[in-house]
Amino acid sequence: MDVNRWRAITVGLFVAVMGIFRLAGAPWVSLPVVGTMLLWLALTGVWHSVLRRASDARRVDRLLTVISVVDLTLAAVVQQLADGTWYLGPTMFLVVIASCALSLQFWSALAATAYGAVAYATLILGEVAGFWQADTSVTAPQLVGRWSSGIEIVVLGWLAMFAAVLLFWGFHDRLQRVHRRFRQLFDASPYFIFTVRPDGGLTSANPVAREYGVPDASVAPFSAILQRIPPDDADEIARRVRAAFAGESSQYEHRIRRIDGAERWLRVTYTPTGTKGQRRVLVMGADITDERAAAAERDRLTREIESAGRMRLVGQLVSGVAHELNNPLAAILNYGELLRAEARPAQDAEALEVMHAQAMRARAIVRDLLLVARASNERPRETASVDDVVRRALQPMAAKAAAAGVHLQFDLVGEVRPQRLDVAGIEQVVTNLVSNAIDAAPQGTVRVTVAATEDGTRLDVRDTGAGIPADVRARLFEPFFTTKAPGQGTGLGLAVTRGIVEQHGGTIRVEHGAATGGSGAHFVVELPMRIESPPEVASPSAPPMPARSAAAATSAEHHGVIRVAMLVDDEQVVRSPMARALRNAGWVVIECGDGEAALAALRDPATPRIDAIISDIRMPGMDGPAFYRRLRREQPTLATRMLFATGDTASEEVAHFLADSGCPVIEKPFTLRELVAAVDQLTASPQSS
């Protein structure tokens, strides 16, 4: 106790001064005086240990009151033994009262002070009354019988005591207020705060600290907290606390299990504090769990935005390139087709077959590229069960699996409800994922699972391969990202897969098989039941190839009906083979280079009645949409017989126009058979007027 120490020092000083007086031969410093003072000094040791054991503030206060009374009594005894050296009294009383006023509560201090005042008055007035007498050898005047002097001394002494108590009480009150304010801050702090003693014990922990499992300071050692912390961190913290006792501050972030069981992250500072004889380490911590989560989320979003930005750029590039490739590809494909239709020597025929196959492959790549760019964003949907679609997609994979010695397994969990799907797209998803899995796990197992979820269907593709390293995982879905040898992979599979899944409002993610109790890679696709269905777009881009165009032509000719088609496209190399194919199919074809030429031809009385118009969308001069709008005003019936041929379904503008007009579209590059079939289909429906 600080107060006790101060009192001990004061009493010690008095004993020392008495000793000096004694040595100097002062007669009033008799042996009994010195003895009593030594006893007094010894008592401070007793008080010290008694106070140390007192647990709460009320007990300490009561003890201090008792100690003050004993002190005052001893002071009076010393005075008496020193033969009424009364002028020592007030000084000693002041010191005693001051020291007790520092720590006593108001009423205890008042009681102690009153006792001191009464004892003092008794001593002085006792001498005046002649009950005891001061030693005349001392310079102090004799008081016996001098009542007015006695009363004067008592009053002055009391005033001095009163002033001292007021002074110290004010000081004490101020201290208390500071202490209260500090306590409020301490208790209301959002940070947890406690201090550690060199022996590993704890002092004062605030309420927040207790939430984090910092135990009751008076009983628990610091090591009790370390049990709530992962062992590696606990060792590090113990080291930092030791370093702080040696004067080194530090900060450390670690996890802790709170008393409610929640695991939280803390940022804790360890600061040396206390005095030289009383070293402490102040431990202050802030809960940074939310901060860390927010930072992680921010990082994730930043990465996503960066990746989205990259993807958008790639998408724009890809869509532009794909679009530009469409017309040349259409010309190659269509001229090739025309040549193939004619009788040729076997060698030429073989070469033409190869050219056709390669052009078809190029067309598939261009379509994939457009898918990556989320270009063909509105594919037709039909109602189907994912498990049916998956089963169908797996059939052709069996051969690839067998060749790689892979065991291909399919499981269905729960009852999968039918949902609106781009069936060809989902087949593509399965093909891409399973194909990658087979590549990754030769001689292994590929497990495909379809399971019903609360709001849709989940598709899992797991393999027993080596899994996906973190650096690959980060770039997995980027277009053109591949780890396969040139010619083995294009790096488009997963980009396309993600595009298709996202068009379904779904998500795709990859997990490491080990985390889900397997090995290798584990892809998870979730397809929600409720998605906004795209506007139904008539899609003659993949019509069944009827062999009936020739038959239809023959029958048309047979019945003497002449069917006239108008072909509007600015690129002659694209238009010509189309015109030839239609003519071969029995159509009369009128070719125009743009919308204005087409309108002019339509207004020309010499032009025969038109049955179908096949128009490009992007053309210099009057483009497809402008032509359509004019036609709708001038010849609304004919406007319902328009088929658009375009390689630009990528742009939103075009997609909107097609959706609004309801006109069918055939995507370039198409085969001539597809074109003829689409035109046949267009005219097969009765003309609405």
Provide the binding-site residues for ligand ADP, judged by CB under 6 A: 432, 436-437, 440, 463, 465, 468, 472, 476, 481-484, 489-491, 493-495, 521
Q: Is the CB of 465 or the CB of 506 nearer to ligand ADP?
A: 465
The minimum distance between CB 514 and ligand ADP, in angstroms, equals 13
Q: How many residues are listed for the chain in this entry?
A: 689
Task: With CA atoms as reference, report the closest residue to 535 among 660, 428, 437.
Answer: 660
Quick one: 460 or 616, whose CB is closer to ligand ADP?
Answer: 460
**Share in percent of the chain as helix, strand, coil (round to 5):** 55, 15, 30
CB of 332 to ligand ADP, least distance (A): 24
CB-CB contact of 123 with 154 (8 Å): no
Smallest distance from ligand ADP to CB 450, Å:
18
| Separation between Cα atoms, residue 16 and residue 8, nearest integer Å | 12
Helix and strand totals (H; E) in the chain: 23, 17
Burial of 425 (0-12, 13-18, 19+ CB in 10 A): buried
| Residue 368 vs 569, nearer CB to ligand ADP | 368
Query: Do 362 and 329 contact (CB within 8 A), yes or no?
Result: yes
User: Residue 448 or residue 452: which is nearer to ligand ADP going by CB?
Assistant: 448
Q: How far is the CB of 445 from ligand ADP (least distance, A)?
A: 12
Identity of the residue, 432 or 445, whose beta carbon is nearer to ligand ADP in the bound complex: 432
Instruction: Give the DSSP H or E segment for 242.
Output: helix 231-245
Positions of E strands within 473-545:
507-512, 521-528
CB of 404 to ligand ADP, least distance (A): 13
Q: Report the candidate in 556, 558, 567 with the shortest Cα–Cα distance to residue 684.
A: 556
User: What single DSSP character describes residue 164?
Assistant: H
Residue 267: CB partners within 8 Å, gap ≥ 6? 251, 252, 253, 285, 286, 288
Smallest separation (angstroms) from ligand ADP to the CB of 469: 8
Give strand pairing partners of 511. Answer: 522
CA dist., res. 97 & res. 509, Å (int): 78
Angle subtended at Cα 144 by Cα 143 and Cα 149, rounded to the nearest 5 degrees = 40
Are 283 and 195 spatial neighbours (Cβ–Cβ below 8 Å)?
A: yes
192: β partners: 285
- Sign of the torsion angle spanned by Cα atoms 318, 320, 323, 329: negative
Nearer to ligand ADP, 438 or 614 (CB): 438
For the bound state, the minimum distance from the C-beta of residue 471 to ligand ADP, rounded and expressed in Å, comes to: 10
What's at 91, amino acid-wise?
T
Minimum Å distance from CB 458 to ligand ADP? Answer: 17
Q: For 450, which DSSP code?
A: E
Q: Report which of 688, 631, 374, 664 is spatially closest to residue 542, judged by C-alpha positions.
A: 664
Closer to ligand ADP by CB, 462 or 563: give it: 462
Rounded CA-CA distance 390/423 in Å is: 9
Helix axes 624-634, 595-603, angle to 10 degrees: 20
Count Cβ neighbours within 10 Å for each residue of 487-514 and write b for 16 or more, e otherwise. Answer: eebbebbbbbbbbbbebbebebebbbbe
CB of 299 to ligand ADP, least distance (A): 23
User: What is the closest distance, in whole angstroms, from the C-beta atom of residue 284 to ligand ADP in the complex?
Assistant: 47
For ligand ADP, the closer of residues 135 and 511 by Cβ is 511
Q: Which is nearer to ligand ADP, 370 or 590 (CB)?
A: 370
Nearest-5° Cα angle at 572, 566 to 578: 50
In the bound state with ligand ADP, the residue whose beta carbon lies nearer, of 387 and 463, is 463
Q: How far is the CB of 492 from ligand ADP (least distance, A)?
A: 6
Instruction: Name residues whose C-beta falls within 8 Å of residue 407's C-beta, 6 or more positions apart in sequence.
Output: 401, 444, 445, 446
- Give, in order, the Cα–Cα distances in Å from 450 to each of 23, 241, 390, 467, 558: 105, 55, 8, 21, 54
Q: How many CB atoms lie under 10 A from the CB of residue 418?
A: 14
Measured between alpha carbons, how far is 325 from 329 in angstroms, rounded to an integer?
6
Which is closer to ligand ADP, CB of 68 or CB of 432? 432
Token code pair at residue 72 = 């005052």
**Minimum distance of ligand ADP from residue 361's CB (angstroms):** 14
- d(CA 277, CA 308) in angstroms, rounded, equals 62
Cα–Cα distances (Å) from 141 to 84, 85, 130, 157, 604, in that order, read 11, 10, 14, 16, 148
Q: What is the number of alpha carbons within 13 Å of residue 343 lying toward its C-beta?
A: 0
Structure tokens belonging to residue 546: 């009827």
* C-beta closer to ligand ADP: residue 69 or 472: 472
Select 149 or 490, whichever has its Cβ closest to ligand ADP.
Answer: 490
CB of 397 to ligand ADP, least distance (A): 13
Q: Rounded to whole angstroms, how far apart are CA atoms 683 and 290?
A: 64
Q: Please, what is the minimum distance in Å from the beta carbon of residue 467 to ligand ADP?
A: 7
Nearer to ligand ADP, 240 or 522 (CB): 522
Q: Of 526 and 680, which CB lies nearer to ligand ADP in the complex structure?
A: 526
Of 285 and 493, which has the nearer Cβ to ligand ADP? 493
Judged by beta carbon, residue 493 or residue 664, the one nearer ligand ADP is 493
